[in-house]
Structure 1
Amino acid sequence: MAFTVPTDVENRPVAVIGSGTLGRRIALMFATRGGEVRIYDKSKEAGEAARAYVAENVAEVAAGIEGGFPGRASVTDDMAEALAGAWLVVEAVPERLDLKKSIYGELDRLADPDTILASNSSSYPTSQFIDEVKHPERVLNMHFYMPPQQNAIDIMSDGHTDRAIIDLLERELPRYGVYPFEAHKESTGFIFNRIWAAIKRESLEVVAEGVSTPQDVDRMWQINMGTPAGPFRMMDHVGLDVVLDIENHYAVERPDLPAGPRELLKKYVDAGHLGVKTGQGFYDDYA
């Protein structure tokens, strides 16, 4: 079925569903051209924390984007209110397939007919959670990394996505300081995430085997690659619970993957050491 792409996008809000580590960063990027971003979260505390994060950072980030200027973020626990008039919805809820299926059924029912429905899923292709969606032609993956520092995006069709949506996003997203790259066929982990998954998994494995420590792996990475952080510090920033969810998903598809990385992550998650968001993960120097 053909889809009528949204128009007047500069004057319409973007909605972000979920206010976690990535949800708030996605909201930040879409607040850099003077418009409104609506953050939906059932938790008032989490939503307000995300709104405060956007307010604190948007002026600096917008200043680094050509034509950018600070917009605003609002928070609601009412899905219909969040979606009203939005040209784009970005879902950023936890990596649970049942939750995503339910969310997409609700988004498809409540969003305007020309609203694009995009998933920030780190590992699930959208083809796996459109069971309750009547208009799959407006659904696609749009996976962010860690904006505003890492600003590449994977975009990937759900198998039904109208080509005009991908073309529109390739034109519009760079105006917000983020840059889309299309996966031309369905790929678990998309493009860069597949490469990163292999690096992260082998890093975890050498620690699980007792060959090295998180700190030494990171320091070697920094020296050799010239980056400010290594794999373990980056996993702490993502959230070790999120990293474990992603690894569990890969393991379902690829049973031959080593169990050591998942077992190591589970020890930290079970202890409540999830990284930056809890103050301790592989490192314990987070204020």
Structure 2
Amino acid sequence: MAIQKATVIGAGQMGSGIAQTLAQSGMEVTLYDLDRSTVDRGIKMISTSLNRLVSKGKTTDEQRSQLLERIVPVTDFDSMQEAELVIEAAPERMETKQRIFAELDQICMPHTILASNTSSLSITELGSATNRASFVIGMHFMNPVPIMPLVEIIRGLETSDETFEKIQHLTHKLGKTPVEVKDFPGFVSNRILMPMINEAIYTVYEGVAEPEAVDQVMKLGMNHPMGPIALADFIGLDTCLAIMETLYLGFGDSKYRPCPLLRKYVQAGWLGRKTGRGFYRYS
């Protein structure tokens, strides 16, 4: 039976994008975060995104209003008791995510699927925080969620075939392309992408070139739509650092060692676009 009711935990950029995408497929969605102001910001991001679609003629005002009505903002964790699917999009910290999954395991229906939008952390380890590891799976959406077509589907050690097939079917329903990957640090996308970004930051750290020059080389010479330094700012330098640390810890290989300059910028609170400053400044 197709999934009709879903909850998204985390009303940030990724969570709000996931909620919008689910609602666009006709699903009833609950968008949860710890406080009302954060949830309201998430709803505002969705509204802004939909306004752009209206202005481009890709949807109507009526469809926009109907979609927003399908997204219910909440701050009460118990509100997700009837969800058939919960997608967690909390900060990239294992202890935070495990705590959420343990609470969900107690609150949700026995057959509810618990999915994580983690970009690098172990699905098997997340599943171990519950008594339903066969219902735990990774759904790694790409940013910006409403636009990017890929979803990495990650099976933990105990994820059942039925859970995988339901999520694969749902991903197709969302108009996305599901790609199955194994549960290893960084999966496929970030195991390849993040070391490239980290190496780009090393070239700045070692004085080889300025950020603008690094990005120009990769855009003009390698045909990348966005340079790796600008992409790091877009993703969030704190997220980049967290993923590199997961790779470094998971594989124990020095090639995954985070660049000291990346660590320094995160310590300074220069996290990229979301804070107005990273390797570039943003108004």
How far did 1:212 drift?
A: 1.6
Aligned pairs (5 A) from 1:150-165: 150-165=148-163
Aligned-partner residue type, residue 237 of structure 1: F
TM superposition score normalised by structure 2:
0.88
Aligned-partner residue type, residue 23 of structure 1: G
Counterpart Cα distance in 1 of 2:152 and 2:39: 25
In the alignment, what sits opposite 1:139? 136
Counterpart Cα distance in 2 of 1:37 and 1:140: 19
Cα 1:214/1:260, change in 2 over 3 Å: farther
Counterpart Cα distance in 1 of 2:266 and 2:149: 27
| Residues 214 and 282, structure 1, Cα contact 8 Å, conserved in 2 | yes
Counterpart Cα distance in 2 of 1:149 and 1:233: 19
Task: Determine whether 1:48 maps to 2:45.
Answer: no
In the alignment, what sits opposite 1:126? 123
2:102 to 105, 126, 129: 105
| Percent pairwise identity | 32
Give aligned pairs, total.
273
Aligned pairs (5 A) from 1:204-219: 204-219=201-216
Task: Return 87-96 or 56-65, whichever deviates more.
Answer: 56-65
2:10 to 18, 21, 24: 18
TM superposition score normalised by structure 1:
0.87
Task: Return 274-283 or 123-132, whichever deviates more.
Answer: 123-132
Q: Provide structure 2 residue ranges, at least 5 long, that are not aligned to the other structure.
A: none
Counterpart Cα distance in 2 of 1:37 and 1:276: 28
Task: Determine whether 1:91 maps to 2:91.
Answer: no
| Residues 32 and 58, structure 1, Cα contact 8 Å, conserved in 2 | no
Counterpart Cα distance in 2 of 1:259 and 1:60: 39
Aligned pairs (5 A) from 1:1-287: 7-9=1-3, 12-58=4-50, 70=64, 71-72=67-68, 73-81=71-79, 83-146=80-143, 147-183=145-181, 185-257=182-254, 261-284=258-281, 286-287=282-283
Q: Provide structure 1 residue ranges, at least 5 long, that are not aligned to the other structure.
A: 1-6
Aligned-partner residue type, residue 15 of structure 2: G
In the alignment, what sits opposite 1:3? none
Counterpart Cα distance in 1 of 2:113 and 2:53: 25
Counterpart Cα distance in 1 of 2:241 and 2:189: 18
Counterpart Cα distance in 1 of 2:5 and 2:116: 17
Counterpart Cα distance in 1 of 2:87 and 2:53: 20
Alignment RMSD (CA, Å): 2.2
Counterpart Cα distance in 2 of 1:260 and 1:135: 34
How far did 1:252 drift?
A: 1.4
Counterpart Cα distance in 2 of 1:79 and 1:111: 10
| Residues 141 and 156, structure 1, Cα contact 8 Å, conserved in 2 | yes
Cα 1:224/1:150, change in 2 over 3 Å: farther
